[in-house]
Every structure is written in C-alpha cells, then in structure tokens.
Amino acid sequence: MLKNATSAYFFESLDFPVNDRKLEGYHADFPAGADRSEPHTHEGAELVYVLKGKLVVNIGGEDYELGESDTIYFDPTAPHSYHCAGRSDAAAVVVVTA
C-alpha cells in the first residue's frame, strides 16, 4: 500500500439537501496515519469541534493541537489544513459559513 493512499479526511454533509444554506455542517473523519491535508482557503468563518481523538489544525503555518471536546474558530481565508495527531482515528464536527 502506498503511503499517500489514505485521504487526510472524509467529510459527510449534515445539512444536505437544504437549499439556500447560511452555514454548512459536516461530520469529518480523520484517519490515523494519513498525511496532512493540502492547505486550502475559503471565504466565511469556520468552527471545528473535536468529537474523538487528537486533531491538528494548521492555520497560516501554525499548528493547533485539539483533543476531545476542544473547539477552534478561525478565519478560513488563511491557508489551513488538518491531520490526525494520534494513533487512533479522530472525528469532528466542522461548520463553515456559506
């Protein structure tokens, strides 16, 4: 198996098929051992609430390690990425404004 064969995350929409959303909610899984996601940007605001495991959110080049029940709110116009920091998978609720 190739090292990069595992995606950094899997997002499942929590509000599909609602039209004209003011925000978008996702359940996100972050597999243990996966590489960091590619940095990306978008408009609006983003909130991440960790349900289980350890998750690192990199914002503008700075790492923030979050554990279960930790939350981070940030401006997603800064490049940001995610990766699981523990030996077991992490999961989070991710909410972004649309």
Q: Tell me which fold the domain 22-97 belongs to.
A: Jelly Rolls (2.60.120)
pLDDT above 70 covers a percentage of the chain that reads: 93
- Judged against a pLDDT cut of 50, whether residue 4 lies above it is answered with no
Looking at residues 16-39, what average pLDDT do you find?
91
Task: Tell me the average pLDDT of the chain.
Answer: 91
Confidence of residue 32 (pLDDT cuts 50, 70, 90): very high
16, exposed or middle or buried, with CB in 10 Å at 0-12, 13-18, 19+? exposed
Q: pTM value?
A: 0.88
Domain boundaries, the chain: 22-97
Q: What angle do CA 95, 29, 21 make, to 5 degrees?
A: 25
pLDDT digits (tens, 9 = 90+) for 44-88: 999 999 999 999 999 999 999 999 999 999 999 999 999 999 899
